[in-house]
Structures are given as C-alpha cells and as structure tokens.
Amino acid sequence: IMSKTPFNWVGNKYKYINIINSIINDKKYDYILDMFMGSGNIILNIDAKANTYIGNDKNKLLPKIYNVLNKADYEYTYSDIEGSLNKFNRFSNKEDYYIFRDYWNDKYLNNKFDRAFIIETILLLKMCSNSMVRFNPKGGYFNQGFRGLGKKKEFFTETMKELCLNELNGLIENMKNKKYEFLNADFMDYFDGVCGEEKGLLILDPPYILRKDMYDTDWTKKHDDKLFQLMQTTKDDYIYFNYLERDGLMNEGLKKFVDDNKLKIVDIN
C-alpha cells in the first residue's frame, strides 16, 4: 500500500515511486538504505523485499520524527490539529506563523520531539513558502517564510486537516508492516560501514551539481567524488538520481562515470 508522507517538500520522489518499483521489483535484499532520505517517500514505499529498511539523513528532523512514529501505539485525531490551531490564533494572519515558527524552533533545537511536535511540523511544512525546507547553516533553525493566506480567513481548511490526519495515521499503520530504522548521520562519515557481507540496495539521491560553481558548504566536489567511489566499489545494487543534462549544461563528471561503467539510465522526468 502506498503511503504518502505528510512531511512533504519540493523535490520529493513520491510521483516516481511506481517507476522506481518497476526497476527493482521482485528483488530481495538483506537491507535497503536510503542514504539521503529527505522526505522519506522512497524508503517508505519501495517494493523490494528486505530484512531491514533504513532511512538516513544529515538533518535530524525526519529521522527523529520517524523514529517516534515507528514506535507509536496511537493514532492522531482531529483534536490534535485543533489544539495547535487554537494555540496560534488558527493562523489567521502572517504574524501567527512567525510566532509559531519561533516556538517550533525552540522545540526543534532542544530535541522536544513529543506528540504535539509531530502535528506542529506538518503544519509548519504546509505553511512555509514554496514548500521548501531550509535551515540556517550556522544556527540550525528553520528560517523559511510564510506561504500566505490568499483570500482565506485562516490557513487550514477542513479538507487540508483531514488530508494531514489521513496521511499521518496511514504512515503509522504502514510502518508496522516492515522493520524500519532511521539514522541521522553524515554520508561522509557513514558510508564506509555500509559495504559489508550482506547484500543491499542503496538509494542515492544527493544534491544535484551540474558545474563546479554550484558546490556549497553542504555538498562539495569531495562529496561527489566520495559518492562516485562508493558506486564504483560497492557490491550492493544502487539507484542514483541526478541530472545528466539540464538547461544546456552537461554534468561532465557524471557522464564520464556513466560511460565508463556502462550504467543503465532511466529518464524519470
């Protein structure tokens, strides 16, 4: 059963799940590791059979939330959402959002990942501008602005609240069907421990770099080279996402790697 996570943001791969599953269908692994998990839609919906399904991300937010939900023996109700909405004036103006964002950041930075925080995070990601999840690189706090009310008197409609609850409770229920682990580790520190005797499938969806001046402090050429080294040496199967070409720019390093290793390319977009 497909389960779209309510913790969605731009760039997630939910709409490509069927294509991904058609590639790896009927295969069996000791583990499947989604190294750059992001929203988690791939690891939560992948069809291949495995003893353990592992989601990893350098940002702590969703690994910690998913570890809470993975142990949850309850379901969320309408009153869970209403409690948060009433606490912040039902988000009837933009000032409510920024007061709420400060409150959310205090809990996030102090690791207060309680039951209410799960709902609060869904609300935050729905309201932030352009569905983009951004954290200040130095302070580590969430800094994305408000999407806006438009013509609405308050942000959350009845339909949106129902959708949030259905996705959240569906996610909790589906987690019971497989053995999941969620990690908060840096790829550069962690990947050497992946390639053991067991047979795994690696899901690799790193930041997409097309030219040298696009590298930043979070993803550098050193990261790219390390990832190419992993793919070159691992005995595991892997699926790697990136742009080979976009807007007239060719990813030369990736093109050479694909040509040298005679990799199969599936165009999903």
pLDDT tens figures, 102-144: 999 999 999 999 999 999 999 999 999 987 888 988 889 999 9
In this prediction, residue 1 has a pLDDT band, given cuts at 50, 70 and 90, of low
The predicted pLDDT at position 190 comes to: 63
3 state SS of 162: helix
H or E element at residue 118: helix 115-127
Cα separation, 105 vs 143, in Å, equals: 9
Residue 195 has pLDDT above 60, yes or no: no
Q: Give the pLDDT band (50/70/90) at residue 197.
A: low
Residue 31 has pLDDT above 60, yes or no: yes
**Residue 14: alpha-carbon gap to chain centroid:** 10
Of the listed ranges 76-85, 140-149, 156-165, 189-198, the least confidently predicted one is 189-198
Per-residue pLDDT, 141 = 93
The pLDDT assigned to 139 comes to: 86
Mean per-residue pLDDT over the chain, rounded: 90
Asked if residues 137 and 59 have their Cβ atoms less than 8 Å apart, the reply is no
Contact 43, 34 (CB under 8 A): yes
59 confidence band (pLDDT: 50, 70, 90):
very high
| Percentage, residues of the chain above pLDDT 70 | 94
Q: What tens digit of pLDDT does each residue of 199-225 get?
A: 899 999 998 887 666 666 678 888 888
Q: Which tokens hold the place of 163?
A: 């959708």
The two beta strands, 200-204 and 49-56, are: unpaired
Q: What is the DSSP letter of 90?
A: G
Residue 97, judged by CB atoms within 10 A of its CB (0-12, 13-18, 19+), counts as buried
pLDDT at res. 175: 94
pLDDT of res. 142: 95
pLDDT tens digit string along 220-252?
Answer: 888 888 899 889 888 899 999 998 888 888 888
Q: Which residue has the higher pLDDT, 87 or 214?
A: 87
